[in-house]
């Protein structure tokens, strides 16, 4: 152990490896590559993981969507192919019949799933954007960040069917001047004046929504587009401890009974379960993390074996030198620890360089993908993983160093000296 902390030992080792530059560089590259791949891959996996999580952070994980389609089976006197539409009254029934539902928000939309977007006009400027009819409860399911001074649709807006709207960042950009305060301003949506009460911040990746969406009160939407009691789809959030998949099934069967649809009709209502999708994607990214761990460790292993290999060759090459050292009084232990320490030192240096290089690459990729719509955020490798890899490398470096070290001392000094 004493030999480890002896300055002379390290001077000797440093001298030996710094004066065989090509050998040192080649040796280092193997492990450097290994740890680089390990850091790069697990960082990228973590980045994807974070990216996916961010994509979903605006929407409650236990939420689902349900919409009406057309029947595929005749039932109760109705023929097949009947077009179904959800109605506002369904909301109350669902809430009463399914206790797991925490929030339920009916929505209408124009220009999202068919239909032309609304024509939005302000002064001389005009544009086309999708318009949603919403209830305030919607923000409980999908968070909407509203810029300062603004607000989302509230209860009074609904009750009085106020002509107010929440616009997107892009709407604001296209219709208002840079330094103009949009809150309180008026825009025309399909020729009806609306007062802007808020600007919502767009979070990329949140499904079909965009930065140009305009939200107006559900009751106003109903009057504007003459949709009566019909709704386009339901957004439902279950309680945290509820089984979302089960709730999804329940919602569909309740809807079937309300709308007099064959309970076995799979096509009558469509639904989309975010929780399930989320779990699947998270499972994918967990798999990716595991894969990167396996590949990274395998690459490190290959690199360390490479070091062992090169040291073995170098011991052969240095047989004479080691013989001279032993003739001059190096004990077998000193020779052995020199070879092992060279191995460990090289592994360590290569490891540190690989970690630094990997970290730099990760941050470079992070910067490159910052502004594009790609699920990749804040790629990090947990410190225990890095330390674990480091410890693994040092242990492997020691073990692999044992082979050439043993080879080095197994040659008798006299044979080593005789070698030409």
Partner 1 sequence: MIEIKDLHKSYKMGSNSLHVLKGINFTAEDGELVAIMGSSGSGKSTLLNILGMLDEADSGEYTLDNVPIKNLSETKAAQYRNKFLGFIFQSFNLINYKSAMENVALPLYYQKVGRKERQEKALNYLERVGLKEWATHLPNELSGGQKQRVAIARAMAAEPKVLLADEPTGALDSKTSYEVMDLIQKINDEGNTILVVTHEEDIAHMCKRIVHLRDGVIVEDKKVKQVRAAEYVQ
Residues at the site binding partner 1, with contacts judged by CB under 8 A: 7-8, 11-12, 15-16, 19-20, 320-321, 323-334, 409, 412-414, 417, 420
DSSP assignment, residue 105?
A: E
| In the complex, minimum distance from the CB of residue 332 to partner 1, in angstroms, rounded to a whole number | 5
Closer CB to partner 1, 145 or 333, in the complex: 333
Q: Which is nearer to partner 1, 167 or 346 (by Cβ)? A: 346
Specify whether the CB–CB gap between 363 and 376 falls below 8 A.
no
**In the complex with partner 1, which residue's Cβ is closer, 323 or 358?**
323
We find the least distance from the C-beta atom of residue 417 to partner 1, in angstroms, to be: 7
Minimum CB separation of residue 342 from partner 1 in Å reads 13
172 contacts 199 by C-beta, under 8 angstroms:
yes
**What kind and span of H or E run contains 236?**
strand 233-238
Cα gap 161→104, rounded to integer Å: 20
Q: Is the Cβ of residue 8 or residue 191 nearer to partner 1 in the bound state?
A: 8
Distance, CA of 349 to CA of 49 (rounded, Å): 30
Shortest CB 324 distance to partner 1, Å: 5
Tell me how far, at minimum, the Cβ of 310 lies from partner 1, in Å.
Answer: 16
Which phi and psi angles does 192 have, rounded to 5°? -115, 135
For residue 411, the minimal CB distance to partner 1 (Å) is 11
* CB of 179 or CB of 420, closer to partner 1: 420
**Shortest Å distance, C-beta 303 to partner 1:** 25
Report, in Å, the least distance between residue 6 CB and partner 1: 8
Q: Which is nearer to partner 1, 155 or 316 (CB)?
A: 316
In this complex, which beta carbon is closest to partner 1, that of residue 25 or of residue 387? 25
The SS3 of residue 61 is: coil
| Rounded-to-integer distance, Cα 322 and Cα 385, Å | 38
3-class SS of residue 331: coil
Beta strand extents in 316-386 (DSSP E only): none
Shortest reach from residue 20's CB to partner 1, in Å: 6
Which is closer to partner 1, CB of 8 or CB of 83?
A: 8
Contact 56, 278 (CB under 8 A): yes
**Identity of the residue, 189 or 409, whose beta carbon is nearer to partner 1 in the bound complex:** 409
- Three-state DSSP class for residue 179: coil
Integer-rounded Cα Rg, in Å, for the chain is 34
Cβ pair 214, 120 in contact under 8 A: yes
Collapsing DSSP to helix, strand or coil, 184 comes out as coil
φ, ψ of residue 235 in degrees (nearest 5): -110, 125
**Pairing mode of beta strands 192-201, 164-168:** parallel
Secondary structure letter of residue 117 according to DSSP = P
Q: Which helix H or strand E contains 122, and what residues bound it?
A: strand 118-122
């Amino acid at each position: 152990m004493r030999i480890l902390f002896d300055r002379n030992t390290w001077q000797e080792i440093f001298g030996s490896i710094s004066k065989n530059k090509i050998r040192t560089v080649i040796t280092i590259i193997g492990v450097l590559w290994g740890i680089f791949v390990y850091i790069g891959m697990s960082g990228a996996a973590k980045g994807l993981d974070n990216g996916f999580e961010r994509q979903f952070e605006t929407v409650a994980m236990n939420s689902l969507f349900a919409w009406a389609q057309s029947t595929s089976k005749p039932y109760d006197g109705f023929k097949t192919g009947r077009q179904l539409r959800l109605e506002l009254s369904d909301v109350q029934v669902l809430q009463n019949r399914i206790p797991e539902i925490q929030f339920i928000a009916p929505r209408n939309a124009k220009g999202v799933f068919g239909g032309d977007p609304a024509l939005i006009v302000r002064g001389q400027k005009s544009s086309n954007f999708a318009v949603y009819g919403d209830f305030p409860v919607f923000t409980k399911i999908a968070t909407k960040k509203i810029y300062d001074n603004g607000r989302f649709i509230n209860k009074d807006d609904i009750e009085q069917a106020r002509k107010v709207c929440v616009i997107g960042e892009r709407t604001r950009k296209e219709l208002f001047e840079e330094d103009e305060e949009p809150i309180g301003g008026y825009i025309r949506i399909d020729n009806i004046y609306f007062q802007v009460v808020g600007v919502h911040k767009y979070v990329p990746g949140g499904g079909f929504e965009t930065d140009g969406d305009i939200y107006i009160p559900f009751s106003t939407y109903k009057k504007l587009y003459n949709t009566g009691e019909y709704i386009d789809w339901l957004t439902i959030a279950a309680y945290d401890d509820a089984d979302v998949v089960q709730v999804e099934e329940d919602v569909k069967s309740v809807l079937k009974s309300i709308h007099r649809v064959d309970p076995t009709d799979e096509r009558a209502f469509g639904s989309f379960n975010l929780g399930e999708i989320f779990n699947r994607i998270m499972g994918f990214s967990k798999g990716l993390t595991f894969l990167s761990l396996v590949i990274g460790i395998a690459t490190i292993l290959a690199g360390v074996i490479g070091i062992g290999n090169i040291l073995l060759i170098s011991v052969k090459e240095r047989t004479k030198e080691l013989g001279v050292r032993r003739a001059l009084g190096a004990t077998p232990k000193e020779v052995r620890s020199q070879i092992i320490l060279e191995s460990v030192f090289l592994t360590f240096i290569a490891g540190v360089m690989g970690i630094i290089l990997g970290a730099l690459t990760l941050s470079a990729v992070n910067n490159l993908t910052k502004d594009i719509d790609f699920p990749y955020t804040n790629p990090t490798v947990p410190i225990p993983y890095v330390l674990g890899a480091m410890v693994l490398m040092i242990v492997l470096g020691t073990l692999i160093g044992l082979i050439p070290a043993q080879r080095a001392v197994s040659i008798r000094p006299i044979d080593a000296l005789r070698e030409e």
